[in-house]
């Protein structure tokens, strides 16, 4: 199996994903739907495998950001309902019909266009209306709703299956703006609830709101990072037990001892003050280990933390393993994840880089970074540039 892993790989624990979804379901109850967010290749975890496991264990529907992502899932035999969260482009309207994808609609012109195409095809199309309650990204304004409702009555081929909004600060301790957004959305619900038949699904709660604001759960919730075992910030309540599903690993490719007063790496940014044992790892920023972690990152080797020294290169990086015992070429190195009793978390990496966890977990979704899926507590499947392989 080692030869298929290559020099850098992700381990994706499908058992953890399963438990996370089940815990979300237990938290929100059986009466609401779960729309699992699998955009961005399931936050870098592999949209196909994640879609399958969450649909088996608690998710009712899926959502992606771009129609291409929805088409990819359809091509890979994912048959569940899929909502495309991004605004439709004119040249792609027909693809929604051909592939049974549900569009997000943010303007009256698009509704007319979908209705016209549906009429020509002698079909009906389910759409979700996006309401802008204060993020100013996508969505109908509150003032447009009455006009939309009066026009939709003349469009028999349109089914408004859902109406939703998106909170911009639900992962922050101060919920005042989220409450403001939700009050606006409730006004929309009051306008629509008796105007649309059958009653649409109203949904608003993203991961932060799922954790902290049960009054916003409505008919359906949209967990994103929670599925993958990550809390959206350190300001939310950890009301759901989560297990991170993703680990990033490599191995030692080369060992050498350099004397004191040696420069390490590009730009001479690290200078040894003592004789130093250096392990070179065959992983770099082209694999998703950010260059800004140069001289500040840490990895786990034989259950101990070792500092990154010198600049992270495109394909390689160096770590200081002085005093950590006997090392061998081929020893496993954890870039983030657990080893022994210690952990380097995605949150640790994000904090060092002054960014959010979503950015970090997408960095490693590279063609040349192998994905090893764990299932039932053991290696199950490998996906790399050469193909897919089941583990014996």
Tens digits of residue pLDDT in 66-118: 999 999 999 999 999 999 999 999 999 999 999 999 999 999 999 999 999 99
Choosing from 120, 153, 173, 266, which is the catalytic residue? 266
Could you tell me the CA-to-CA distances from 133 to 137, 183, 187, 268, 270 in Å, in that order?
10, 9, 10, 51, 49
Range of the domain at 131: 32-228
Q: Which is it for the CA torsion 326, 328, 334, 338, positive or negative?
A: negative
Short-list 231, 250, 190, 256, CA closest to 350: 231
Q: Check whether residue 166 and residue 284 sit in a common domain.
A: no
Q: Is residue 272 part of a domain?
A: yes
DSSP sequence for 266-308: GGG-EE-SS-EEEEEES--GGGT--GGGTTT-EEEETTEEEEE
Residue 127 is given by DSSP the state E
Mean per-residue pLDDT for 146-167? 94
Domain boundary among 195, 228, 261: 228
Confidence bin at 259 (pLDDT 50/70/90): very high
Q: Check whether residue 147 and residue 219 sit in a common domain.
A: yes
As a whole number of angstroms, the distance between CA 73 and CA 199 comes to 28
Query: Per the structure, how many domains does the chain have?
Result: 2
Active site (annotated) includes residue 39: yes
Three-class DSSP category at 243: coil
Three-class DSSP category at 10: strand
DSSP sequence for 19-70: HHHHHHHHHH-SSSEEEEE-HHHHHHT-HHHHHHHHHHTT--EEEESSHHHH
As a whole number of angstroms, the distance between CA 137 and CA 166 comes to 10
Q: Check whether residue 44 and residue 121 sit in a common domain.
A: yes
Q: What is the largest CA-CA distance in the chain?
A: 81
Q: Is residue 65 part of a domain?
A: yes
Q: Is residue 308 part of a domain?
A: yes
Question: In this structure, how many other beta carbons lie within 10 angstroms of the beta carbon of residue 341?
Answer: 6
Q: Which is it for the CA torsion 130, 134, 136, 140, positive or negative?
A: positive
- The pLDDT, as a whole number, for residue 195 is 85
As a whole number of angstroms, the distance between CA 105 and CA 84 comes to 10
Q: Is residue 18 part of a domain?
A: no
Six-digit token string for 68: 């291409």
pLDDT digits (tens, 9 = 90+) for 175-222: 999 999 999 999 999 989 888 888 999 999 999 999 999 999 999 999
Q: Check whether residue 82 and residue 205 sit in a common domain.
A: yes
Choosing from 18, 39, 249, 383, which is the catalytic residue? 39
Q: Check whether residue 115 and residue 157 sit in a common domain.
A: yes
Find out whether 276 and 33 touch, Cβ atoms under 8 Å. no
Mean per-residue pLDDT for 369-386? 97
Phi, psi of 270 (to 5 degrees): -125, 135
Q: Check whether residue 184 and residue 41 sit in a common domain.
A: yes
Q: Check whether residue 204 and residue 297 sit in a common domain.
A: no
As a whole number of angstroms, the distance between CA 325 and CA 312 comes to 24
What's the alpha-carbon Rg for the chain, to the nearest Å?
24
Instruction: Read off the CATH number of the domain in which 366 is found.
Output: 2.40.37.10
Element at 212 (helix H, strand E): helix 207-212
Element at 96 (helix H, strand E): helix 93-98
Q: Is residue 25 part of a domain?
A: no
Domain boundary among 202, 228, 254: 228
| Cα 238–chain centre separation | 18
As a whole number of angstroms, the distance between CA 126 and CA 158 comes to 6
Q: Check whether residue 168 and residue 300 sit in a common domain.
A: no
Q: Is the pLDDT of residue 324 over 90?
A: yes
As a whole number of angstroms, the distance between CA 298 and CA 199 comes to 52
Active site (annotated) includes residue 130: no
Q: Is the pLDDT of residue 153 over 90?
A: no
Instruction: Read off the CATH number of the domain in which 217 is found.
Output: 3.20.20.10
Find out whether 1 and 382 touch, Cβ atoms under 8 Å. yes
Q: Is residue 27 part of a domain?
A: no
Q: What is the mean pLDDT of the chain?
A: 97
Q: Check whether residue 204 and residue 273 sit in a common domain.
A: no
Q: Check whether residue 189 and residue 289 sit in a common domain.
A: no
pLDDT digits (tens, 9 = 90+) for 3-59: 889 999 999 999 999 999 999 999 999 999 999 999 999 999 999 999 999 999 999
Q: Is residue 38 part of a domain?
A: yes
Residues in the chain: 392
Q: Check whether residue 64 and residue 145 sit in a common domain.
A: yes
ω into 191 cis (within 30 of 0):
no
Question: In this structure, how many other beta carbons lie within 10 angstroms of the beta carbon of residue 261?
Answer: 10
Domain boundary among 228, 257, 284: 228
Question: What's the N-to-C CA distance of the chain in angstroms?
Answer: 9
Q: Check whether residue 52 and residue 157 sit in a common domain.
A: yes
- Residue for token digits 């065959």? 282
Mean per-residue pLDDT for 226-245? 98
Q: Is residue 16 part of a domain?
A: no
């Amino acid at each position: 199996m080692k030869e298929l892993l290559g020099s850098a790989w992700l381990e994706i624990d499908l058992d953890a994903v399963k438990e996370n979804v089940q815990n979300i379901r237990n938290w929100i109850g059986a009466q609401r739907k779960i729309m699992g967010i699998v955009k961005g290749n399931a936050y870098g975890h592999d949209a196909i495998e994640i879609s399958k496991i969450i649909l088996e264990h608690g998710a009712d529907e899926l959502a992606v950001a771009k129609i291409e992502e929805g088409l990819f899932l359809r091509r890979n035999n994912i048959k569940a309902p899929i909502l495309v969260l991004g605004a439709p482009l004119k040249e792609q309207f027909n693809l929604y019909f051909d592939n049974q994808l549900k569009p997000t609609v943010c303007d009256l012109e698009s509704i007319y266009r979908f209705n016209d195409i549906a009429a020509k095809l002698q079909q009906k199309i389910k759409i979700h209306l996006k309401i802008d309650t204060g993020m100013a990204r996508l969505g109908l304004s509150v003032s447009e709703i009455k006009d939309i409702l009066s026009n939709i009555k003349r469009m028999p081929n349109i089914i408004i299956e859902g109406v939703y909004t998106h909170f911009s600060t639900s992962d922050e301790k101060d919920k005042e703006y989220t409450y403001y957004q939700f009050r606006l959305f409730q006004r929309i619900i009051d306008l629509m609830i008796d105007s649309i038949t059958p009653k649409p699904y109203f949904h608003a709660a993203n991961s932060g709101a799922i954790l902290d604001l049960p009054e916003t759960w409505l008919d359906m919730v949209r967990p994103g990072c929670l599925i993958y075992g990550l809390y959206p910030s350190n300001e939310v309540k950890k009301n759901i037990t989560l297990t991170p599903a993703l680990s990033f690993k490599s191995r030692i490719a080369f060992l050498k001892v350099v004397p004191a007063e040696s420069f390490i790496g590009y730009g001479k940014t690290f200078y040894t003050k003592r004789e130093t044992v250096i392990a070179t790892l065959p992983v770099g920023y082209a694999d998703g280990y950010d260059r800004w972690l140069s001289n500040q990152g840490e990895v786990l080797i034989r259950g101990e933390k070792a500092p990154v020294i010198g600049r992270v290169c495109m394909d390689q990086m160096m770590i200081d393993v002085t005093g950590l015992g006997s090392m061998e070429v081929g020893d496993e190195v954890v870039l983030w994840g657990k080893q022994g009793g210690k952990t380097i978390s995605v949150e640790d990496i994000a904090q060092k880089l002054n960014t959010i966890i979503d950015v970090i977990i997408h960095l490693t979704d590279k063609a040349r970074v192998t994905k090893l899926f764990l299932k039932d507590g053991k290696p199950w499947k490998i996906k790399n540039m050469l193909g897919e392989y089941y583990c014996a």
